């Protein structure tokens, strides 16, 4: 059976790990330009730790939350941990597709938690610039009864992440680089976009 027949939390976790492993070097290179070059390893390390936990519950989000909150350093560790924690609060089905409206509410809760702790607004060139449009697109798609809400979220996240290249970072290490970071997309935002891309591919293949 393909992923469409069995989109469990384990599937999400393993596909996310695959995607992050493929992107690790690119994410690291970007973090070398605007930060300290550890983001690719932080993200991959957390996903690998989550894989070592029992990953099937809560759409894989529970294991990701525990791994990132407990074990991942950097600024991104706790922030991704908070996002995964909120996403894990949705009642993810063992099989089949999660309810888009619940997922949208969870994504909004994740966004609120990240903003509360990190203090970033939209436009500061952080992962918020991918997460905020993704949460909104998911909510809009759920309200409209759209066919592919996770794909809409993934597209919005990818657009938001790409758009960070035009911004002057105002939070995190990239803010020290300031205007010299213009032209470089924010690695954390690309990481968030990767998460929604994986959800779209798993649940809307
Ligand atoms: P560090 O800078 O501590 O090495 P990481 O490299 O693990 O952290 O993560 C960097 C990413 O964290 C950035 O690309 C950005 O998306 C995100 N980030 C940094 N600071 C904030 C913040 N205050 N709010 C939201 N996201 C942030
Ligand atoms: Mg870093
Ligand atoms: Mg660091």
114 within ligand 1 shell (Cβ under 6 A): yes
Predicted confidence band at 81 (pLDDT cuts at 50, 70, 90)?
very high
What is the distance in A from the centroid of ligand 1 to the CA of 86?
18
Q: How far is Cα 131 from Cα 125, in angstroms, rounded to an integer?
A: 11
Residue 2 is assigned to a structural domain of this protein = no
120 within ligand 1 shell (Cβ under 6 A): yes
This prediction's pTM = 0.96
Query: For residue 31, which atom of ligand 1 is closest to its CA?
Result: 6
Residue 179 is assigned to a structural domain of this protein = yes
CATH classification at residue 103 = 1.25.40.340
Tally of domains in the chain: 1
Over range 61-68, report the average pLDDT.
96
Residue 4 is assigned to a structural domain of this protein = no
Residue 29 has pLDDT above 80, yes or no: yes
Atom 9 (ligand 1) nearest CA: 76
67 against 95, higher pLDDT: 67
Over range 67-74, report the average pLDDT.
95
Predicted confidence band at 5 (pLDDT cuts at 50, 70, 90)?
very low
Q: What is the pLDDT of residues 89-132, one digit of tens each?
A: 988 877 788 999 999 999 999 999 999 999 999 999 999 999 99
**Residue pair 58/88 in contact by the 8 Å Cβ criterion:** yes
From the CA of 188, which ligand is nearest?
1
Q: How far is Cα 110 from Cα 4, in angstroms, rounded to an integer?
A: 26
Range of the structural domain that residue 189 is part of: 9-203
């Amino acid at each position: 059976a393909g992923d469409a027949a069995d989109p469990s939390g384990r599937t999400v976790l393993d596909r996310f790990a695959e995607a992050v492993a493929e992107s690790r070097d690119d994410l690291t290179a970007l973090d070398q330009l605007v930060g300290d070059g550890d983001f690719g390893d932080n993200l991959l390390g957390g996903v690998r730790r989550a894989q070592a936990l029992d990953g099937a519950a809560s759409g894989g989000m529970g294991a990701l939350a525990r791994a990132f909150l407990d074990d991942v350093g950097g600024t991104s560790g706790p922030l991704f941990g908070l996002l995964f924690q909120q996403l894990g609060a949705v009642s993810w089905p063992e099989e089949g597709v999660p309810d888009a409206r619940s997922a949208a509410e969870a994504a909004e809760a994740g966004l609120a938690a990240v903003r509360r702790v990190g203090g970033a607004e939209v436009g500061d060139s952080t992962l918020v610039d991918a997460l905020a449009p993704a949460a909104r697109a998911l909510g809009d798609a759920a309200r409209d009864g759209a066919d592919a809400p996770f794909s809409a979220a993934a597209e919005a996240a990818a657009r938001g992440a790409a758009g960070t290249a035009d911004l002057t970072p105002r939070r995190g290490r990239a803010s020290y680089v300031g205007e010299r970071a213009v032209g470089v997309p924010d690695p954390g935002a690309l990481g968030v976009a990767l998460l929604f891309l994986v959800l779209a591919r798993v649940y809307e293949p």
